[in-house]
Amino acid sequence: MEMFWGLAVSAILLGCTYTLVAIGFSLFFGVMDVVVFCCGDIAIFGSFAIIGAYAVAQSAGLFGVFPFWVCVILLILIGAVFCAAWGLITHQLSIKPFQNSSELMPLLSTIAMGTVIKEGLGLLFKPVVNTISAAFDRESAVTVVSGRNPQGFPSLLLPDGTVGARYLTIIVITAVILLLLFLFLNKTKMGMSMQAISQNKELSLMTGINVSRVIIITFLIGGVMLAVSGFLVGSYQKLMSFDDGAMYGAKGFSAAVVGGLRNTWGAVIGGMLLAFVEVFVSGYIPKGTAYSSIAAFVIVVIFIVFKPDGIIGDKSVEKV
Partner 1 sequence: MNGTVDNTLEISGLDTSYGRIPMLRGVSLNVPSGQVCCVLGANGAGKTTLVKAILNMVKADRGSMKLEGKNMDSWPTHKRVKSGIAISAAAVGTFHKMTVEDNLKMGAYYIDDSLLQERLGEIYQSFPVLRERLRQKAGTLSGGERTMLAIARAVVNKPKLLILDEPSLGLAPIMIEEVFEIIRRLRATRQMSILLVEQNAVKALSVAGCGYVIQKGAIAFSGTADALGRSEFVENPVM
Q: Give the binding range for partner 1 (CB under 8 A) out of 35-43, 185-193, 235-243, 252-260.
A: 185-193
Q: For residue 202, report the phi and psi dihedrals to the nearest 5 degrees.
A: -60, -45
Q: If binding is defined by CB under 8 A, does position 211 make contact with partner 1?
A: yes
Query: To the nearest whole angstrom, how small is the minimum distance from the Cβ of residue 191 to partner 1?
Result: 11
Q: If binding is defined by CB under 8 A, does position 206 make contact with partner 1?
A: yes
Q: Which of 131, 169, 195, 237 binds partner 1 (CB under 8 A)?
A: 195
Q: Give the binding range for partner 1 (CB under 8 A) out of 18-26, 58-66, 72-80, 190-198.
A: 190-198
Query: Which is closer to partner 1, CB of 140 or CB of 186?
Result: 186
Query: To the nearest whole angstrom, how small is the minimum distance from the Cβ of residue 76 to partner 1?
Result: 33
Size of residue set near partner 1 by CB under 8 A: 18
Beta bridge partners of 95: none
Residues in 16-55 at the binding interface with partner 1, rule: CB under 8 A: none
Query: To the nearest whole angstrom, how small is the minimum distance from the Cβ of residue 200 to partner 1?
Result: 6
Query: Which is closer to partner 1, CB of 157 or CB of 197?
Result: 197
DSSP 141-172: ------TT-EEEPP--S-TTS-HHHHHHHHHH
> What Cα–Cα distance (Å) separates residue 302 from each residue in 176, 257, 305?
31, 11, 5
State the DSSP H helix or E strand holding residue 241, giving kind and residue range, or none if neither.
Answer: strand 239-241
> What Cα–Cα distance (Å) separates residue 1 from each residue in 4, 5, 8, 165, 284?
5, 7, 11, 21, 12
For the chain, what is the radius of gyration of the CA atoms?
Answer: 19
From its phi and psi, is residue 150 left (phi > 0), alpha (psi between -120 and 50) or beta?
Answer: beta
Query: Which is closer to partner 1, CB of 2 or CB of 202?
Result: 202
The site string for partner 1 over 131-170 (x = CB under 8 A, - otherwise) reads ----------------------------------------
Q: Give the binding range for partner 1 (CB under 8 A) out of 37-45, 170-178, 199-207, 283-291.
A: 199-207
C-beta atoms surrounding 200 within 10 Å:
12
From its phi and psi, is residue 146 left (phi > 0), alpha (psi between -120 and 50) or beta?
Answer: beta
Query: To the nearest whole angstrom, how small is the minimum distance from the Cβ of residue 244 to partner 1?
Result: 34
Closest by CA to 17, choosing from 171, 232, 176, is 232
Q: Which of 203, 285, 298, 301 binds partner 1 (CB under 8 A)?
A: 203
Query: Which is closer to partner 1, CB of 140 or CB of 207?
Result: 207
Residue ranges in contact with partner 1 by CB under 8 A: 189, 192-193, 195-196, 199-200, 202-211, 314
